[in-house]
């Protein structure tokens, strides 16, 4: 308790208590600066991830394997861009300048090296979750992104369904529903590729590449910031808990399709 007293002032400890007892914040409410700072961090991270995600998916409208799939990918791109719009509007409402940001940052930037592993590193001065720096090179990658990353995002957004910041909470239900559709698309295609003996080895190869990247999106399980988000009512579970929920969901699916999940060690990841 003594370290905690050192780390946070009386005002913050009172805020944690109030939030624990159900205090929420709505549009027009004055936000405690400490709360606002952490809320902005999370919103920027989501906004830039949705936006960079949409841009990263865009080339796949053209490259998708059938006209039907081109329509589905176009729909997914539209969904992600709409998610970005929703979150950027929340940020603008809090006095941020998202249009200047998207006009000046390179949110379409991708790492060119196909097998790069950046661990927990940042690459540019935007706020996207760092998996959105990797290039989607093959259709298998696009599908793995739906199968793994949209599913991981779903688990993370689940916490926002109960956010202490009400405008975010109200908007997240629609986003969550659309992410579920992306996951269904991934599940369908993982089944198709895994049952095709010509495609399965390459699918496994690409899964090996994407697996640590996806595991890293849950952040460090030792992160202090994450506990703070929980105390501010901006998340419900710690990084480690959300990662475990994702694993409980994904591992049986990989097993069902005969896909092997590579070993992952958080301590091996570059920081």
What is the binding site for Fe ion (CB under 5 A)?
Answer: 50, 80, 83, 150, 179, 182
Q: How far is the CB of 182 from Fe ion (least distance, A)?
A: 4
Helices (H) and strands (E) in the chain, counts: 12, 0
Is the Cβ of residue 83 or residue 155 nearer to Fe ion in the bound state?
A: 83
Terminal Cα-to-Cα distance of the chain (whole angstroms): 29
Distance CA 162, CA 124 (A): 31
Is the Cβ of residue 109 or residue 181 nearer to Fe ion in the bound state?
A: 181
Q: How far is the CB of 62 from Fe ion (least distance, A)?
A: 19
Is the Cβ of residue 83 or residue 213 nearer to Fe ion in the bound state?
A: 83
Q: Three-state DSSP class for 199?
A: coil
Q: For residue 41, give the nearest of 232, 271, 175, 237 by alpha carbon.
A: 232
Q: Three-state DSSP class for 107?
A: coil
Q: How far is the CB of 80 from Fe ion (least distance, A)?
A: 5
Non-local (6+) Cβ contacts of 212 within 8 A are 117, 119, 262, 264, 269
Q: How far is the CB of 79 from Fe ion (least distance, A)?
A: 6
- The phi, psi pair for 32, rounded to 5°, reads -60, 135
Q: How far is the CB of 81 from Fe ion (least distance, A)?
A: 9
Is the Cβ of residue 65 or residue 174 nearer to Fe ion in the bound state?
A: 174
Element (H, E) at 225: helix 224-231
CA atoms within 13 A on the CB side of 268: 7
Distance CA 110, CA 124 (A): 10
Q: For residue 78, give the nearest of 171, 153, 182 by alpha carbon.
A: 182
Is the Cβ of residue 15 or residue 91 nearer to Fe ion in the bound state?
A: 91
Is the Cβ of residue 128 or residue 182 nearer to Fe ion in the bound state?
A: 182
Q: How far is the CB of 201 from Fe ion (least distance, A)?
A: 27
Phi-psi region of 258 (alpha: psi -120 to 50; beta: other; left: phi over 0): left
Is the Cβ of residue 83 or residue 231 nearer to Fe ion in the bound state?
A: 83
Q: How far is the CB of 108 from Fe ion (least distance, A)?
A: 16
């Amino acid at each position: 308790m003594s370290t905690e007293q050192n780390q946070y002032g009386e005002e913050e400890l009172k805020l944690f208590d109030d939030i624990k007892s159900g205090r929420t914040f709505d549009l027009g409410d004055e936000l405690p600066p400490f709360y606002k700072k952490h809320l902005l961090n999370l919103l920027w991270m989501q906004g830039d991830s949705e936006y960079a995600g949409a841009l990263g998916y865009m080339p796949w409208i053209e490259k998708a394997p059938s006209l039907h799939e081109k329509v589905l990918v176009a729909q997914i791109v539209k969904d992600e861009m709409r998610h970005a719009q929703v979150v950027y509007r929340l940020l603008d409402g809090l006095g941020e300048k998202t249009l200047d940001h998207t006009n000046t940052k390179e949110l379409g930037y991708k790492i060119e090296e196909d097998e790069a592993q950046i661990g927990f590193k940042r690459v540019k001065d935007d706020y996207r979750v760092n998996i959105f720096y990797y290039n989607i090179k093959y259709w298998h990658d696009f599908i793995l992104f739906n199968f793994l990353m949209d599913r991981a995002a779903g688990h993370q957004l689940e916490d926002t369904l109960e956010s202490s910041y009400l405008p975010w909470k109200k908007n997240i239900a629609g986003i969550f529903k659309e992410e579920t559709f992306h996951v269904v698309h991934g599940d369908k295609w993982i089944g198709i590729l895994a049952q095709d003996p010509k495609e399965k080895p390459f699918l496994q190869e690409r899964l090996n590449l994407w697996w640590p990247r996806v595991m890293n999106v849950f952040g460090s399980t030792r992160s202090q910031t994450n506990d703070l988000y929980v105390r501010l009512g901006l998340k419900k579970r710690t990084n480690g808990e959300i990662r475990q929920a994702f694993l409980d969901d994904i591992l049986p699916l990989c097993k069902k399709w005969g896909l092997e999940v590579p070993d992952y060690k958080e301590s091996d990841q570059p920081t």
